[in-house]
Amino acid sequence: MTPSPPVASQSGAATKAGAASKTGASKAGAAPTAAASHPSGDKRFKLLEVAMKRHQFRQDALIEVLHTAQELFGYLEPDLLYFIGRNLKLPPSRVYGVATFYQFFTLKPKGRHTCVVCTGTACYVKGADALLAAVRDAAHVGPGETTEDGELSLVTARCLGACGIAPAVVVDGAVLGHQTPEDLLRQMEGWAPRGPSGTA
Ligand code: FES
């Protein structure tokens, strides 16, 4: 049986006591009508806002929202967790508790660089598999893996919410659309153990 997520203490430490069946969030809480924007202007926060809006800022959509955040950012940094908590009107300790409870969430960057390739339907149709193959061949890294030298983590996403610019990727925080394998490898030049052309 899958254990229930914790209700985190104020210190952020996870406890299993009093675990709720989902995120422990109340469906009855008043949902905000507008997202609290992030001052950085980072486009990924905008995409995350759209995802939260799609869930009507419901607190019980926390896990889905964390998934989307990790797909967009590669990992869940504290500022990101705070941003989510603010928009879903959840205390940071609750968001942190859920993020640390599930193994599929990661709070630290794995590689020095992160490349997220969207493999959602729109991106897949437009050639996401060719993008993944190009990165795999150039950097010898598969989805969910980090190169041995710690330079590059390759992550896949189900949908970044940017289907209009498919195939979409996020390279070190920059959302890039209409990517070809050549475009993507150009972005990654110098990161991988071997360069995009296999010559490094
Ligand atoms: S399917 Fe890739 S951004 Fe939506």
pLDDT band at 35 (very low <50, low <70, confident <90, very high): low
Percent of the chain scoring above 90 in pLDDT: 48
Ligand 1 mutation pick, 163, 176, 184, max ligand atoms within 8 A of CB: 163
Q: Which atom of ligand 1 is nearest to the CA of 160?
A: 3
* 11-18 average pLDDT score: 36
Give the start-to-end residue ranges of the domains of the chain.
Answer: 43-101, 113-187
Q: What is the pTM of this model?
A: 0.63
How many Å lie between the centroid of ligand 1 and the Cα of residue 85?
A: 24
Q: Which fold has domain 43-101?
A: Arc Repressor Mutant, subunit A (1.10.10)
Q: Are 106 and 166 spatial neighbours (Cβ–Cβ below 8 Å)?
A: no
Ligand 1 mutation pick, 47, 54, 132, 160, max ligand atoms within 8 A of CB: 160
| pLDDT tens digits for range 132-153 | 999 999 999 999 888 888 899 8
pLDDT band at 39 (very low <50, low <70, confident <90, very high): confident
Contacts 24+ apart (CB under 8 A), 101-110: 101/5, 101/6, 101/14, 102/5, 102/63, 105/66, 105/70, 105/76, 106/70, 106/75, 106/76, 107/75, 107/76, 107/77, 107/78, 108/75, 109/74, 109/75, 109/153, 110/74, 110/75, 110/146, 110/150, 110/153
- The whole-number pLDDT of residue 144 equals 84
> Is 70's pLDDT higher than 80?
yes
> Is 160's pLDDT higher than 60?
yes
Chain mean pLDDT for the chain = 80
* 82-93 average pLDDT score: 95
- The whole-number pLDDT of residue 36 equals 67
Q: Which fold has domain 113-187?
A: Glutaredoxin (3.40.30)
How many Å lie between the centroid of ligand 1 and the Cα of residue 200?
A: 32
How many Å lie between the centroid of ligand 1 and the Cα of residue 195?
A: 27
